[in-house]
Amino acid sequence: MSETLPSALKAASLDQAPPRRSALSTFLVGSLGHGGLMAGAIVLAAIVLIALAAPLVAPHDPYAQNLARRLIPPVWDARGTWDHILGTDKLGRDYLSRLIYGARISLLIGSVTVLISGTIGTAIGVCAGYFGGRVDAVLSYLVTTRLALPVVLVALASAALVGSSLQGVIVVLGLLLWDRFAVVTRAATQQIAGSDYIAAAKAIGCSTPRIVLTEILPNILNPLIVVATLEMAHAILLEAALSFLGLGVQPPLPSWGLMISEGKQYMFFSPWVIAIPAVALVFLVLAINLVGDGLRDVTAPENRN
């Protein structure tokens, strides 16, 4: 049945004698003990490394086409060759190389989008949470408005307006995906703004920017990082959806979403064309989500001693 934690526990469990493990080492121990987090982190790290070292690890030029050698199946197929381990696409481009370069694009989209949306969302959330009152009402209404707009549709429409391109997709997604940041940081900030150490900082004479930057921000970092990872996955998936619908990244850039979209026509007879980027995408998103979930578990207050 449920775990009913005696309310005194929170205080009691804190009230133990030093020396104890530092926050960092508890975090590390927690992380190492968290299977999902570790698995996710390893896969993610691998993908990031491969993406960074793309020119070194990619066996071919991802853009070099050779129509005479199109649609070669991967090496595990009887007709496959070791020259093209994952086969070639419809234009005879090496699929493995495209996949490797595609990782760069997905990660780029994920990280830059999160950077933009995170900045916007955090600014909004912290202001709303800290100042409360009217500011909060206005900013909450902003968030509601944003939530009322259907993301895919607005992203598609904006992409159509600004012209679909890598930069366009990043900017559009960055300007759209800040809502969760705002909601989470707002809640976290509200909680912190009411705590005595903020009152203490004010009583000491700290300026508002100082309070926000040194007292509040570090303390909402955990949820922020968690949201950032999850939103990164979200952004990558959305880009894939936009590319799938034809208004995302444009060819010949090897974005995974685009590769899936292009591979769609071969899904009945050469299913690997679509399966390979789809699996890669699922893996990446899965890894990021695992890391995000894991971080949430590890940094959640009930798990911190």
Site for ligand ATP in 168-227 (CB under 6 A): none
Three-state DSSP string of the chain = CCCCCCHHHHHHHHCCCCCCCCHHHHHHHHHHCCHHHHHHHHHHHHHHHHHHCHHHHCCCCCCCCCHHHCCCCCCCCCCCECCECCCECCCCCEHHHHHHHHHHHHHHHHHHHHHHHHHHHHHHHHHHHHHCHHHHHHHHHHHHHHHHCCHHHHHHHHHHHHCCCHHHHHHHHHHHCCHHHHHHHHHHHHHHHCCHHHHHHHHHCCCHHHHHHHHHHHHHHHHHHHHHHHHHHHHHHHHHHHHHCCCCCCCCCCCHHHHHHHHHHHCCCCCHHHHHHHHHHHHHHHHHHHHHHHHHHHHCHHHCC
The interface mask with another protein, positions 116-155, x = CB under 8 A, is -------------------------x--xx-xxxxxxxx-
Residue nearest to Mg ion (CB): 8
CA 236/CA 156 separation, integer angstroms? 15
Among 48, 71, 115, 123, binds another protein (CB under 8 A): 71
Least gap, CB of 125 to another protein (angstroms): 18
Q: Which of residues 1-30 bind Mg ion (CB under 5 A)?
A: 8
Applying CB under 6 A, the site for ligand ATP has a residue count of 7
Shorter beta-carbon distance to ligand ATP: residue 10 or 264? 10
Q: Which of residues 6-65 bind ligand ATP (CB under 6 A)?
A: 6, 8-9, 11-13
Shorter beta-carbon distance to Mg ion: residue 8 or 148? 8
Least gap, CB of 11 to ligand ATP (angstroms): 6
Least gap, CB of 196 to Mg ion (angstroms): 11
Residue 47 as a binder of another protein (CB under 8 A): the answer is no
Shorter beta-carbon distance to ligand ATP: residue 9 or 160? 9
Shorter beta-carbon distance to ligand ATP: residue 214 or 303? 303
Residue 90 as a binder of another protein (CB under 8 A): the answer is yes
Q: Which of residues 260-299 bind another protein (CB under 8 A)?
A: 260, 262, 264-271, 274, 278, 281-283, 285-286, 289-290, 293
Q: List interacting residues with Mg ion (CB under 5 A).
A: 8
